[in-house]
A = this chain, B = another copy of it.
Amino acid sequence: MKPSVVMIEPNGHFCDDCAVRGAAVCSSLNAAELREFEHLGRRVHFGAGDTVFSEEDITTSFYNVLEGVMRLYKLLPDGRRQIVGFALPGDFLGMNLSGRHNFSADAIGVVTVCQFAKALFTRFIEDRPQLLRRINELAIRELSQARDHMVLLGRRSADEKVATFLLGWRERQVAIKGLSDTVPLPMSRQDIADYLGLTIETVSRTFTKLERQGVIEIIHGGISLLDPARVEAMAAA
């Protein structure tokens, strides 16, 4: 694990030009609060493959993803990996009860986060129930996604998993780029496999099978959905 190459921007009034201001945790704050809030966080950049935090680390910061994609994962002692989710701009990371992150987070490609010192952030929340309510909403949304993913992991076939993944990923891109049949896949095949509870070979084979069936086209850095309806049919099963 190489050390994180980190760049920290000078602190300042940067919420104004923040891409996720409307979607993120910050959307619950009014102008005055936001002014106070922006002094708590600082933008931090990570390079491809950098680890932002690790499973066993004591939580000292919370993170608001501003840009890029992160993989969130847990490892078994023998090295098996399960990716429990991908974090996109607007996602808020670091909440836990144990005082430790209970999963690890790597940057996939370049990532920018807004990093908050845990203590300061916790104090700031204390008399801002709106912010707490917003955080709670995000947690509940994640919980719902987690349950959906359990169904996928426990009860779906490889074909269904891959089809569901493509549609789900496309859906998440909507917020960022609008609906498109071209689905960019910044993560590796291994990441996809570890997210779906499959091997890299099965993911690869499934992609090629779908391509031969004319349902998708494997393009540089992603997948093009030639027949979205058929992908949906495969996912529903």
Tell me the A210-233 residues at the B interface (CB within 8 Å): none
Tell me, in angstroms, the Cα distance from A154 to B82 when the chains sit together: 7
A151 to B156, CA, bound (A): 15
Taking CB atoms, residues of chain B closer than 8 Å to A97 are: 137, 140-141, 144
Residue pair B95, A140 in contact (C-beta under 8 Å): yes
- A177 on the B face (CB < 8 A): no
Q: Is the CB of A236 within 8 A of B77?
A: yes
Contact with B along A134-174 (1 / 0, CB 8 A): 01110111111011111101111000000000000000000
Q: How far is the CB of A61 from chain B (nearest CB, A)?
A: 16
CB within 8 Å of B: which A80-113 residues: 80-82, 84, 95-98, 102-103
The contact sample of 19 A-B pairs, CB cut-off 8 A, is A74-B150, A78-B237, A80-B155, A82-B154, A84-B150, A95-B140, A95-B143, A96-B144, A97-B140, A97-B141, A97-B144, A98-B144, A102-B147, A102-B148, A103-B147, A129-B132, A135-B136, A136-B136, A136-B139
